[in-house]
Amino acid sequence: MSVQESQVGLYDTAPPAPQGGGRLKAFLKAGLTSLSSAVLLPVIRRVAGDRIGGETLDEAWAVVRRLEASGCRHSLGFWDTPAYTIDDIVGIYLAAIARVRGSGGYVSIKPPALRFDPAIARRLAVAAREANVRLHCDSHGINAADLTLAFVDELLRELPPRLVSATVPGRWARSLDDADRIMTRGAGVRVVKGEWPDPADPARDLRMGFLQVIDRVKPRKGAVAVASHDPGLVAEALRRLQEGPGHYALEFIHGLQSPKLLDLAKAADLVPTIYVPFGKGFVPSALRVLRRNPSLAMDVLRRMVLRPA
């Protein structure tokens, strides 16, 4: 891969468009992704406000309070767009750290949005250390993986390992080594299937890759979060982790915590953590909720056509 190719999408934090699917998915992809969050957000708020985090930290925090009342933990994840400056993003992360303080939750950050700046990493880490809040680095394209791991290392310069974690996607062949690197430093991992493909193995089986990462981290004593909305995969991952000595947790994206998944958490005596995305870049998360709820999606589309916001 050339240097120029490796820079393509390096700072883009929006997930790639889903592949495949039926007419509804195609319609959603064509119709909704072409709209800005400023147009789409008011409609979804009206129809499905209880299933999204919203645009502002205050709106996301209202969701957190509802989740706490239902017995769930939380992670706040700010989703940026080009409309935000780096200073804006840093300010929002600092505000999120301050808001989460003492709540038992943590803050998920997107290193590409911060240009992987080590000085910013240390600034956020100092704030997190003072607030005793964990910082988690989300995963993005495979070309950003090394820079993200370097960002994790910068956080660890200022934070104890228990306050640092990172996402490891099962669909990358390199993820086994990445998981080793993260957990050797004492930080935690969140295991996901992954949205960005591995160019070296684009047809890699996502479930197999997920479980391979689980098997790699199982013998370790560190913290592991199982993050999937596939009940069968979650059940198998938990079964394997129960054989190891580490601590493990279940995490779901807000709006996708199905009764089956919550039952699995209860059966394993785990308090689920709900990832609450917020910000103007919320659209990919909202689309994911809509794709899994066809009737809700049709209601949103109907209101967009008949009563546009």
pLDDT at 143: 95
DSSP code for 52: S
pLDDT at 297: 60
Residue 151 has pLDDT above 50, yes or no: yes
pLDDT at 1: 43
Q: pLDDT (tens digit, 9 = 90+) per residue, 227-260?
A: 999 999 999 999 999 998 989 999 999 888 889 9
DSSP code for 242: T
Q: How far apart are CA 227 and CA 246, in angstroms?
A: 16
Ranges assigned E (strand) in the chain: 73-78, 106-109, 135-137, 164-169, 188-192, 223-227, 247-253, 273-278
* 24: Cα within 13 Å, side-chain hemisphere: 15
Residue 174 has pLDDT above 80, yes or no: yes
Topology of domain 56-92+113-278, CATH: TIM Barrel (3.20.20)
Q: How far apart are CA 177 and CA 219, in angstroms?
A: 14
Whole-prediction pTM: 0.86
Q: pLDDT (tens digit, 9 = 90+) per residue, 198-229?
A: 999 989 999 999 999 999 999 998 899 999 99
pLDDT at 268: 94
pLDDT at 301: 60
pLDDT at 295: 61
More confident residue, 309 or 263: 263
Q: pLDDT (tens digit, 9 = 90+) per residue, 71-115?
A: 999 999 999 988 899 999 999 999 999 999 999 999 999 999 999
pLDDT at 48: 55
Percentage of residues of the chain with pLDDT beyond 70: 77
